[in-house]
Amino acid sequence: MIAMFDLVMQILKSNQIEIPLIQPVVDSLIEIPVLNALVALILWRPFFAVVVMPGLLVLMIYLLYIIWFERKLTARIQWRVGPLEIARPLRGAIQALADGLRYFFQEAIVHKEAHRPYFIQLPILAFIPVLLPIAFIPAGNVVGIKTPYAIQLIVAFISLIPITIVAIGWASNSRFAFVGSVREALMYVAYEIPFIIAVISMIFLYGSGDPYVVIEKQWIPGAFLNPLAFLVFLIAMLMATSRLPFEIPEADQEIAFGPFVEYSGILFGLVMVLAYEKLYVMALLFTILFLGGWSGPQIALLGDLNAPIWLVIKTLVAISIIAIVRSMYARYRIDQALRMGFSWFLALSVLALVIGAFIGMVI
């Protein structure tokens, strides 16, 4: 038993993240019998990447931040005030936390017509394709699973997400949910092809699907190397996360949150954040492909933490700017969005592919 513990500790200690700033604290904590295993586990690179940064912990903080920020920003542009009364000195900053707590203690009603096992399982199952890409997203030395096909894998997992949403709509067995899932399926075909072509064009451009190579080759941000792919990815990101110009599957005013209409309580809390989590994963990919990933000024004191911090900051800034689109445009009809997706949007992505292949040959 003790030998096994020592072996585990040895494995953990062989791949520790190095942060000079907190090194004295870590050194003192590592002497304490039980805490040392915990500290060694948290600072183990794969664990740190997946659970702390840019993984689940940052994802949680991001969720709390973006829901509040988006509501507040939309409110400001529409001459309203937005969430305010919870934590007034912070202008309602923990509104999302309060909502989450309320969802947690609220009764989750499963209506009679629902396919009960699927109805309850699917919100939880939907997290698998949403959260798995995080294991493959590297941030400098901090990486969960290191593979040269990381970008392809991330895209593959992102493409799986709409299937769970369609399944959620089917399991709800209500007419709004049905309309919502059909819309989701149609939108899925509309954006997925240009989106994948845009990513392929960037892979052509960099000559590899390995994020390390991608970052290395970006002497200027990828957005300037292939602006068309940048534009296509941006619009596909809005479509994929059903943000406002393409908020067709959820369409609050018409079909009352679409596939998720029957959910309540914590199950609603889970499905509500799905689109935000998808946005986070896609924005991480966006940052790596187009904004130079984790490259940025190095601070010696932070050591290995530099790369994740830069990656997360760039991602959050990108998302915050994207959030403004919500309050600028009205919603497209489904036929307009589909016509767009299959006409100029697809053409634009093919053009981006040609440019990407051409520039890829030059550099």
* Interaction site with other proteins (CB under 8 A): 73, 76-77, 79-81, 84, 324, 327-329
Q: Nearer to other proteins by C-beta: 61 or 81?
A: 81
Q: Nearer to other proteins by C-beta: 245 or 292?
A: 245
Long-range contacts of 65-72 (CB under 8 A, 24+ apart): 65/96, 65/316, 66/276, 66/279, 66/280, 66/319, 66/320, 66/323, 67/95, 67/96, 67/99, 67/273, 67/276, 68/92, 68/93, 68/94, 68/95, 68/96, 69/320, 69/323, 70/323, 70/326, 71/95
- Report, in Å, the least distance between residue 71 CB and other proteins: 13
- Report, in Å, the least distance between residue 73 CB and other proteins: 6
Q: Nearer to other proteins by C-beta: 81 or 363?
A: 81
- Report, in Å, the least distance between residue 331 CB and other proteins: 15
Q: Nearer to other proteins by C-beta: 328 or 354?
A: 328
Q: Nearer to other proteins by C-beta: 13 or 80?
A: 80
- Report, in Å, the least distance between residue 78 CB and other proteins: 8
**137 contacts 211 by C-beta, under 8 angstroms:** yes
- Report, in Å, the least distance between residue 332 CB and other proteins: 13
**C-alpha span between 120 and 109 (Å, rounded):** 10
Q: Kindly calculate the radius of gyration of the chain based on its CA atoms and give it in whole angstroms.
A: 22
Longest Cα separation, the chain: 65
Q: Kindly report the number of other CB atoms within 10 A of residue 13's CB atom.
A: 13
